[in-house]
Amino acid sequence: MTRFIALRDYLMVMIGRIGGVKLLSRVFSTDEYSEEDIKYAAEVLRHSSRKTLWRSFDSCNNYKVPFPIPVLSTKIHYWYAETEEKACSWDIRYMKKYFPQTDFRILPKLGHGGLVLLKPEFFKEMVVGM
């Protein structure tokens, strides 16, 4: 199932890569991306190989978590956009069950991946403040 999800995500990015700025501006319409941001994303995609893009999705979607899950003596930070709460509900339940020390932080007024791209100074403050 995760391979199909990776394939879907990969194909969406490849369509965005082919469609360029015009198509990407529709995809990123949920966030406050400037035209310059969208042009930058289009340029990054244009210079990324198909193999690199596929490996990015495949490795993220198919990472095997060891079982039994080892006990960790560290704090985990889980940040997600306010608009992603429903989509992340399974992951959040999983983290609460297996990693109760996790510090959850909801990021308001952002879409997926919007923190680093749209609010880099806020991202820096969050990382430094951990």
Q: How many domains does the chain have?
A: 2
Among residues 35, 61, 87, the one where a domain terminates is 61
Domain-located, residue 72: no
Domain co-membership, 82 together with 36:
no
Q: Residues 114, 101, 96, 76: what is their CA dihedral angle, to the nearest 10 degrees?
A: 30
Domain co-membership, 124 together with 93:
yes
Spatial CB neighbours of 94, under 8 Å, sequence gap ≥ 6: none
> Domain limits at 7?
2-61
Domain co-membership, 9 together with 44:
yes
What are the pLDDT tens digits along the chain (130 aa)? 778 888 888 888 888 888 888 887 776 665 667 788 778 888 888 888 999 989 888 888 788 878 888 888 888 999 998 888 888 899 999 999 999 999 999 988 877 777 877 778 888 988 988 7
